[in-house]
Amino acid sequence: MGLRFGYGQTYNAGETVRFYDWLPRWGIFLTQPGNSVLGNLRLSLVIEGVIGVLEAGHSGWELGFTPLLKVSYPLSSRVLGYIEGGAGIVWENIDSPTYAHVFNFSPQIGAGLDIKIVGNFALTLAYRFRHTSNAGIYDENRGVNSNFGMVGVNYYY
Q: What is the mean pLDDT of residues 105-121?
A: 97
Q: Is the pLDDT reported for residue 14 higher than 90?
A: no
Whether pTM > 0.75 for this model: the answer is yes
Helix and strand numbers, DSSP H then E, in the chain: 0, 8
State pLDDT tens for residues 36-92.
888 999 999 999 999 999 998 788 999 999 999 999 999 999 999 999 999 999 998
* Residues whose CB falls within 8 Å of the CB of residue 101, separated by 6 or more in sequence, listed in order: 134, 137, 138, 140
> How many angstroms separate the Cα of 109 from the Cα of each of 15, 83, 118, 146, 156?
23, 7, 28, 11, 22
Q: Is the pLDDT reported for residue 133 higher than 70?
A: yes
Strand 2-10 to 18-29 pairing: antiparallel
Tell me how crowded residue 80 is: count the other CB atoms within 10 A of its CB. 21
Q: Binning pLDDT at 50, 70 and 90, where does residue 141 land?
A: low
Phi, psi dihedral angles at 92 (to 5 degrees)? -125, 130
Of 120, 132, 119, 129, residue with least CA distance to 150: 129
State pLDDT tens for residues 22-50.
999 999 999 988 888 889 999 999 999 99
